[in-house]
């Protein structure tokens, strides 16, 4: 099944079950088409598709529907960018309330979001590439779940810095939980449930595959950090169940590390691991080298946690290097990539 450039009329994608029906409908209108060659394709209107047995399944591939999906994705990416800017502009007065033994450095958090959202540039390029793979990703793999991610993430980005209010932290925790569930589902759809028919261009690789993996790992760290912020409102937060807070932070780091190892071994997903490495380095910088933890909020921080974080990050880097050496084609989808000149 192949595609060529779209034209003004809706494009219908062949399937083995409806090919003969399509040929009967279109042989009079398009007598010059070679129906034995799948490089040729036929355009049908929405009404014609609906008249075909089972045609309603394919109405999602009409040009009208594709254009609608493109518009929704563009708006979603824009709302995320607005949410990021709004969240930075509306920084709460108590900027130290979120500082604890699991806190990454604030600059690392902001830079991480900027980098992940900037991959949307490649995604937007993919939206307007006239390939079957781009339509397949929009319609079947991302679908409407992506719009839920845009909405929830925009709200979270707008509220993320209001850490002095418990109810806002609870809302952010719920949002992060929902985001992790939805993004994990997209992770499965996009990277590991496709059947390998579609080439993976550079724009798809960076704008979809890499972005989803990085976002999923990033959300895990932010979720754990938000849990510690919520616990800070309790009088027993620094001695929960008789265990010091720094021990809980080290346990959370080990949990994130274990999940990252599972993703590396099961999916060969180095981008997920890279996201965790970046987060661990951010925690190390905050706990061991920041002015806030060294002087202002020293009692809330822990150099032991920072040391553990940088140690786990170093181990992760070794795992990433080994994975790239032995599974480079799998990691980079090299066997399914378009020629370098084509994004």
Task: Give domain limits for the chain.
Answer: 19-61, 64-336
Q: Where are the beta strands (DSSP E) in the chain?
A: none
Plot region of 143 (φ>0 → left; ψ -120 to 50 → alpha; else → beta): left
Q: In this predicted model, which residue has the larger pLDDT, 199 or 190?
A: 190
Q: What is the reported pLDDT for 189?
A: 84
pLDDT > 90 in the chain, percent: 34
Eight-class DSSP state of 199:
-
Tokens 């040729």, residue?
Answer: 40
pLDDT tens across 254-301, in order? 999 999 999 888 888 899 999 999 999 999 998 888 777 777 666 777
Q: What is the reported pLDDT for 68?
A: 83
- Checking if the pLDDT of 326 tops 50, the result is yes
Helix, strand, coil percentages (3-state) for the chain, rounded to 5, are 70, 0, 30
pLDDT tens across 33-83, in order? 444 443 444 445 555 555 555 555 555 666 677 788 888 989 999 999 999
Rg (CA), the chain: 24
3-state SS string for 225-239? HHHHHHHCCCCCHHH
Query: Residue 11's beta-bridge partner residues?
Result: 43
Q: Which of 94-108, 134-148, 178-192 has the highest mean pLDDT?
A: 178-192
Q: What is the reported pLDDT for 55?
A: 55
Choose the weakest-confidence range: 109-123, 158-172, 227-241.
227-241
pLDDT-derived band at 85 (thresholds 50, 70, 90) equals: very high
Q: What is the reported pLDDT for 215?
A: 96
- By residue count, the chain amounts to 343
DSSP string spanning 127-167? HTS--HHHHHIIIIIITTHHHHHHHHHHHHHHHTT-TT-HH
């Amino acid at each position: 099944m192949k595609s060529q450039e779209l034209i003004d009329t809706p494009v219908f994608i062949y399937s083995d079950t409806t090919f003969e029906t399509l040929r009967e409908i279109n042989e009079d209108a398009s007598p010059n088409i070679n129906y034995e060659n799948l490089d040729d394709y036929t355009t049908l209107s929405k009404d014609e598709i609906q008249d075909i047995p089972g045609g309603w399944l394919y109405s999602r591939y009409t040009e009208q529907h594709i254009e609608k999906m493109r518009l929704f994705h563009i708006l979603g990416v824009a709302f995320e960018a607005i949410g990021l800017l709004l969240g930075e502009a509306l920084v709460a007065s108590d900027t130290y309330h979120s500082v604890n033994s699991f806190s990454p450095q604030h600059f690392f958090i902001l830079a991480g979001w900027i980098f992940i959202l900037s991959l949307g540039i490649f995604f937007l390029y993919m939206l307007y590439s006239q390939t079957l793979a781009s339509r397949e990703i929009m319609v079947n793999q991302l679908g409407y779940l992506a719009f839920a991610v845009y909405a929830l993430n925009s709200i979270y980005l707008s509220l993320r810095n209001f850490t002095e209010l418990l109810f806002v932290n609870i809302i952010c925790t719920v949002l992060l939980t929902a985001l992790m569930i939805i993004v994990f589902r997209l992770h499965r759809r996009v990277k590991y449930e496709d059947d390998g028919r579609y080439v993976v261009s550079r724009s798809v690789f960076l704008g979809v595959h890499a972005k989803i993996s990085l976002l999923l790992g990033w959300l895990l760290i932010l979720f754990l950090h938000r849990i510690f912020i919520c616990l800070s409102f309790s009088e027993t937060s620094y001695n929960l169940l008789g265990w010091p807070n720094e021990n809980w932070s080290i346990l959370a780091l080990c949990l994130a590390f274990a999940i990252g190892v599972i993703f590396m071994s099961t999916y060969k997903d180095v981008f997920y691991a890279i996201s965790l490495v970046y987060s661990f380095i951010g925690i190390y910088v905050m706990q061991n080298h920041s002015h806030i933890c060294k002087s202002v909020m020293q009692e809330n921080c822990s150099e032991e946690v920072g040391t553990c974080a940088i140690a786990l990050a170093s181990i992760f880097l070794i795992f990433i290097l080994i994975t790239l050496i032995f599974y480079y084609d799998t990691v980079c989808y090299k066997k399914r990539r378009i020629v370098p000149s084509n994004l």
